Amino acid sequence: MTIGRVTQRMLAQNSLGSVQSGLGRLAKVQEQLTTGRVLNRPSDSPTATTAAMRIRSERAAQEQYARNAQDGLGWLTQIDSTLGSVTDTVRRAREVGLQGNNTGSVGQVARDALATEVDGLRADLVSQANSTYLDRPVFGGITSGSKAYDDAGNFVGVVGNVNRRVGDGVVVKVDVDGNTVFGDGATSVFAELDGLSAALRSGNTTAIGASLDALAARLDTVTSARTAVGATQNRVERAAQSATDAKAALDGDLSNVENADLAATTVELQLAEVSYQASLAATSRVLQPSLVDFLR
């Protein structure tokens, strides 16, 4: 059996290597305890770094979905509020028409006053049809302008859907087509109110009755649109909550990959300190003898 020759230099080198290794381990654990992270650079763990990058990418996507959902809810809330006002306005116009159609108790002077009120309600409806969210008309489709309807009751927007992506493969329409709610031109609610106003001023009860029927149908249309908006709101709220929950879960996964366990790291630091101190003690014994010691 061959016995290798062990020299003082070999002992010193091995001892210094052990000290350096222990010091490196101690520094690494100290850094983890200081930063609270086990991943401070990609070289710490390439596999964990890849996993962390993938989690961060998915987390960013969920954050964007949540922001999109909140923006969509802003659109839908504005639309719902406006449709509520539209319902009240159209209902009031119909009540005015019913009063004017009561020939037994309402004279022409009173009908003229009621017609003036209808004209004011029509102006209110034009304003409501041009309601905006973040300076965009919510009933104007994809128009870049500030109005969906002009004063004559004509649609001046650009037909198109305002969509928001609120999940992976989930796209929701968050606007309402103004033509569906208010109509356009001669078939619009504004034309219906113009007809009611003219009928009241002329005292034509047949025309007043026709206007009342048109407004009743318009109320049904507005109610249907508001119901659809409510259903969409519920869907977007669920998507927003889902994105928030997914982000929270990903935060937990990212913490498991990147963050250090404080208790375990503290114990590891103590072990590293003991190991380093032991290496220093052993090295001091190995390096202590010198040639002078042997010449004494």
CATH of residue 235's domain is: 1.20.1330.10
Query: What is the domain range of residue 273?
Result: 261-290
Same domain, 213 and 79: yes
pLDDT of residue 149: 95
For residue 15, is it within any domain?
no
Dump pLDDT digits (tens) for 97-130. Answer: 999 888 667 788 889 999 999 999 999 999 999 9
* Most confidently predicted of 22-26, 191-195, 261-265, 278-282: 191-195
Taken as a whole, the chain contains a residue count of: 296
| C-beta separation of 141 from 161 below 8 A | yes
How many domains, in total, are found in the chain? Answer: 2
Q: Are residues 167 and 230 in the same domain?
A: yes
Q: Does residue 112 sit in the same domain as residue 168?
A: yes
For residue 223, is it within any domain?
A: yes
**164, 69 contact by CB (below 8 A):** yes
Structure tokens of 142? 């994809």
Question: Mean of the per-residue pLDDT values for the chain?
Answer: 85
Helix (H, G, I), strand (E, B) or coil at 32: helix
Same structural domain, 250 and 107: yes
Chain centroid to CA 262: 34
Is 192 contained in some domain? yes
Q: Do 276 and 193 reside in the same domain of the chain?
A: no
Read off the pTM. 0.78
pLDDT per residue over 166-183, tens digit each?
Answer: 999 999 999 999 999 999
Per residue in 1-59, pLDDT (tens digit) is 556 665 556 666 666 666 666 666 766 666 666 676 777 777 767 888 888 889 999 99
Distance from C-alpha of 103 to C-alpha of 206, rounded to nearest angstrom:
12
User: Is 13 contained in some domain?
Assistant: no
